Structure 1
């Protein structure tokens, strides 16, 4: 083979992706899928800093270093005990080995004369790795948003004096994080929403408002139905109420969350049946359980059946999942599906939520969610409270599962409030297509353009 043909087959640039969590891995993969469709895509490598990074496997992206699942599963947010568990589980040794792996990769690529870049997805940890790699880099900030401390009207009122620390320098991103984002080799920063981008642009940071990849890939063949239409009362009488259940994906936490949610479901059914009896009507309710593929549905079914639900042979709504489990109790149906996640999001009028990413995606579709803080390690009271600030009026927190029965009916009787919630969700989570927009920008800033 001639040198000319060999050069033409060689990628023009090499990209190393750093991410620190399952959700971050998924966001990275959405961007990489779009990047691979570019006319001159990079050769891509990955280094998942937390977990095993299985999301990269479907794209055939090789790892450059060790991967390992820590005891916390990556959920150390606001929980020092989880952090200590990870330290005892070898976190420091793993981190050091990953730093050395990144340095080896950078050095080897430079020796080969390749043009290299790094994409950091997550929080300050991958950003730090990227900043000290010696290569040009870009950052997708998934963990922080200005909505944690403010909305468009100004700073949020906070109960704790310690909360002032979050915004002590005028941004949710602290000065040392902004320093890392303002280095010459940092070619692009992609905050998760417009408000955060606007704040970061006050400093010499190349921040681009291109949207949130979390809202990509949620398409469904079924149209969504919502309450906040002009004929809301007619619709409420004509069709069932669809309630999406989001218990999370981490075991064993999700099983405990499911038990709590089933208490809320039973209380809600009892409340609705009492209302129907008072006005001599009967309204069907459909509960859509969006179950992560890694969960054991047998365990969930035991909880369902202990609450009086019976197996039913036919689904009340069209689902693309032939293996969905259907239950019935009086005029209510409960579906468990591990394949029709998008349909659960689009069909639901409201969600009962104890999840991270799934809750944000549901709200991003313009729908309200009622959240019940659990025992953690992920969906604990601290996480739920922070998520309620992030999502604003679209997320309603209750302390006890039985309170869902009081909150949900009043929520759905307020079409003006639901319209505000719809607009708020789209504003805070962004419109679909962010992954492609970010990929186009990466190609320009890290790849063939911008003197990279």
Structure 2
């Protein structure tokens, strides 16, 4: 056997036994979080891939909990990644260096793939988000998989058929038979695309009409939401009796992006005041309720002092005790009449699980709350994220579980209506699970990636 043949065999053998080099592309904070959940499951497995990352939008702070290198530049843009909401945001990003950043990221991806190829390493790309990371992965020259987080057939249809739409331009979303347009489907049907993971079963079945390796293994957004308490402890032996005496809990979700979240909080506080006033009316179904608790799930990046000032301006006073104990030593507690309002930046999961209903002006948090089988009331804000267009799109995505209102004062009427109809609450619970999926998706996707990417 020639030296060349021996060298070729040795190279092939080394390539077959060496761990996979995986580059992860994601475009937004929510997408970064989903990517991290999948990567954590991959890292727990024997002989895990060697992982690299390139967040295409923002600084990729979610990756800080993983010991993996970035292969290129990251930069916060003025829009925070919400350029599709407003053309003016795109213009601001272009002035802020978006084009230069994108070109440098394309070069970084090509450089990484080329270097791995020269070393004889097995290489693949995991794209998480929308068409941008998918496009970069397709033209990288490496095998790739795609986790589609942004689009769902529920935006245009449900199991019964197409949704009625007021806008004349709405047909554009589904002009080719799917919310994924022909050029996106082309990117997903290339030979080097080994797997496409969709966020719900309806979208997956739709894409299977084309030669796309589509899988529905759940939605990683529902992973990592376990509460700190056990349900048995919260609801012990006499459940029916406890239901009559336990507080009615409203979770408040203002979003995570300043300064928008502060403006959202002001709107939410108007809704809270309207709800409080309705509880004092004798014809209210909550008139005899002992206690009402509002749980403010506040992102760590927000200033709780700004929010607490808004709370106190609405007549709430600081309080030391609360009927609900959260595992947050820095929780801020306020009281007004028979109601308590808690602000926490460390008990997000518990706020989702404890809430009977949410007043929401958030993206991911609203979807997670609804995925737990609960109704949420949404109030469109001024954006750039949670504006009327986003809220209307989210209401189609989440169906009957999300009730969209025009004014914060309307929240009281909606709450009254919801809890007068227990059968409707059961329908909402089933709808939320169907549209958002069960926990464990990250592990199932990780297992499939190992199989499909080798």
**TM-score for both structures, normalised by structure 2:** 0.93
The 8 Å contact of residues 52 and 69 in structure 1, kept in 2 or not, is answered as yes
CA distance in structure 2 between the aligned counterparts of 1:331 and 1:76, rounded to whole angstroms: 43
- Structure-1 separation of matches of 2:287 and 2:383: 42
- What corresponds to 2:235 in structure 1? none
Q: Which residue of 2 aligns with 1:443?
A: 450
Question: Do the aligned partners of 2:156 and 2:162 also contact (CA within 8 Å) in 1?
Answer: yes
Kept in 1: contact 2:247–2:289 (CA 8 A):
no
1:364 lines up with 2:371 in the alignment:
yes
The answer on whether the counterparts of 1:267 and 1:405 sit within 8 Å (CA) in structure 2 is yes
Residue in structure 2 matched with residue 99 of structure 1 by the alignment: 106
Shift of 1:221: 3.2
- Once the two structures are TM-superposed, the CA of residue 11 in structure 1 deviates from its matched residue by 4.8
1:184-216 deviations in whole A, cap 9, x for unaligned?
000000000010000001110000110100000
CA drift of 1:308 comes to 0.7
Q: Confirm or deny: 8 A CA contact 1:276 1:282 kept in the other structure.
A: no
Q: Do the aligned partners of residues 11 and 37 (structure 1) sit closer, same or farther apart at CA in structure 2, a change above 3 Å counting?
A: farther
**Which of residues 107, 117, 122 is equivalent to 1:110?**
117
Partner of 1:270: 277
Looking at structure 1, the residues matched to 393 and 250 of structure 2 have their Cα atoms a distance apart, in angstroms, of 23
Q: For the Cα contact (< 8 Å) 1:232–1:415, is it kept in 2?
A: no
State the shift of 1:172 in Å.
0.5
Give 2:152's match in structure 1, choosing from 140, 145, 149.
145
Q: Is the Cα–Cα contact under 8 Å of residues 237 and 283 in structure 1 kept in the other structure?
A: no
Name stretches of at least 5 consecutive residues in structure 1 with no aligned partner. Answer: 226-230, 448-452
Structure 2 CA distance for partners of 1:117 and 1:327, relative to 1, 3 Å: same
1:20 to 21, 24, 27: 27
Match of 2:304 among 297, 304, 307: 297
Pair 1:49-2:49 in alignment:
no
Q: Mark the CA change 1:408 to 1:280 in structure 2 (over 3 Å): closer, same or farther.
A: closer
Post-superposition offset of 1:224: 5.5
**Displacement, 1:233?**
8.8
Summarize the Cα distance change of 1:78–1:278 in structure 2 as closer, same or farther, 3 Å threshold. Answer: closer
Q: Give 1:316 deviation, angstroms.
A: 1.6
> Cα 1:375–1:278, aligned 2, differ >3 Å: closer, same or farther?
closer
Map 1:124-273; keep pairs closer than 5 Å.
124-223=131-230, 237-273=244-280
1:420 corresponds, among 407, 427, 434, to 427
> In the aligned structure 2, how far is the partner of 1:35 from the partner of 1:283?
48
Residue 322 of structure 1: how far off its partner (Å): 1.4
Tell me how many residue pairs correspond in the alignment. Answer: 437
Question: Would the aligned equivalents of 2:245 and 2:289 in 1 still touch at CA under 8 Å?
Answer: no
User: Measured at CA, do residues 371 and 51 of structure 1 come closer, stay the same or move farther in structure 2, by a change above 3 Å?
Assistant: same
Q: Separation in 2 of the partners of 1:257 and 1:280?
A: 28
Corresponding residue to 1:405 among 412, 430, 444 = 412
Shift of 1:76: 1.8
CA distance in 1, matches of 2:165, 2:192: 37
1:314 aligns with: 321
Q: 1: CA distance between counterparts of 2:288 and 2:261?
A: 35
SS at match of 1:313: coil
RMSD over equivalenced CA pairs, Å: 2.0
User: What is the deviation of 1:323?
Assistant: 1.1
The residue number in structure 2 matching 1:39 is: 46
Question: What is residue 88 of structure 2 aligned with on the other side?
Answer: 81
Structure 1 residue 282: deviation in Å?
4.6
Please state whether the residue corresponding to 1:333 is helix, strand or coil. Answer: strand
Deviation at 1:281, TM superposition (A): 3.0
The one-character-per-residue Cα deviations of 1:235-254 (angstroms, maximum 9, x if unpaired) are 66322110000000000000
Task: Measure how far apart 1:283 and its partner are.
Answer: 3.1
In structure 2, runs of 5+ residues without a counterpart are 1-9, 233-237
Change (3 A) 1:280 1:202: closer
Post-superposition CA distance 1:51-95 (Å, at most 9, x none): 000111111111000000000011123311111111111101100
Q: How far apart are the structure 2 equivalents of 1:191 and 1:281?
A: 45
- The change in CA–CA distance for 1:277 and 1:119 in structure 2 (over 3 A counts) is closer
Structure 1 counterpart of 2:294: 287
Contact 1:11 1:43 in 2 (8 A): no
| Contact 1:247–1:354, Cα closer than 8 Å, also in 2 | yes
Q: Deviations over 1:322-356 (max 9, x none)?
A: 11111111100000000000000000000000000
Cα deviations by residue, 1:258-290 (Å, 9 ceiling, x for unpaired): 000000000100111123789973531100000
Distance 1:279 1:348, change over 3 A: closer
Distance 1:179-1:284 versus aligned 2 partners, 3 A rule: same
SS of residue matched to 1:67: coil
Report the alpha carbon displacement of residue 234 of structure 1 after superposing the two structures with TM.
6.3
